[in-house]
Amino acid sequence: MDPWPLRHLLLRTPRLELRPDDDAGLLDLAEVAQRGIHPPDYMPFVVPWTDNQPHEWLQHYWLTRATLSPADWTVNFLVRLNGRVIGMQGLSAKDFAVTRAAQTGSWLGIGHQGQGYGTEMRAAVAMFAFDHLHAEQMSSGAFADNKASHAVSRKLGYRPDGTERMAVKGKLATNVRLRLTPETFVRPQWPVEVDGLDGCAELLGSGVPDR
């Protein structure tokens, strides 16, 4: 039995490759983040992590990987274009074997935004979750003024699922929750290619559901 089967997992789209994070890739990811993700006067994240130091970013990803379990997991996929890391696409779930519900979160380096990569990488994990992990629902969220994120969600068929008021850096922000199902998912014209899934199903609690 492979002690860490996620190291073999690979999602391919027409332009991108997504692999679960590893130490070398995280150093590349930190460099991308340091070059900028968002304008300095705007915070798109519920947790304003870009205000922290780079070593704290790495510690967060290490901790997330170290505490992964079938009952509570997050897979942070490093997104590569032509072999170079350009951002991160996360996929998370709690009690997935029962709920069949997963959540996404992502970001791209500012130099790679506005070119369709955000849609492509989120579509990839949606197809991976629905077609290979047997998910029945996906959720995401973005602040009301995050036009780019909402544009991606609309393209893929997400539906509004309520709002919540949050304090972010001492200011009021409205987070819009979004939901996606296999029936509402607007699939791209290309399929995602998945390699290395063997051994990951048990780790992610993603066997075929009884119902």
Looking only at the bridges linking them, the beta strands covering 159-168 and 137-143 are unpaired
Question: Which one, of 145, 140, 142, 143, lies nearest residue 156 by Cα?
Answer: 140
Report which of 128, 38, 36, 132 is spatially closest to residue 90, judged by C-alpha positions: 128
pLDDT tens profile 175-190: 999 999 999 999 999 9
**CATH domain 5-135 topology:** Aminopeptidase (3.40.630)
Tokens of 198: 């063997």
pLDDT of residue 196: 95
pLDDT at 181: 98
- Indicate if the pLDDT at residue 211 is higher than 70: no
The predicted-structure confidence for 16-64, as pLDDT tens digits, reads as follows: 999 999 999 999 999 999 999 998 888 888 888 888 899 999 999 999 9
Non-local CB neighbours of 139 within 8 Å, separated by 6+ positions: 101, 102, 103, 104, 161, 177, 178, 179, 180
Going by pLDDT thresholds of 50, 70 and 90, the confidence category of residue 208 is low
**What tens digit of pLDDT does each residue of 95-143 get?**
999 999 999 999 999 999 999 999 999 999 999 999 999 999 999 999 9
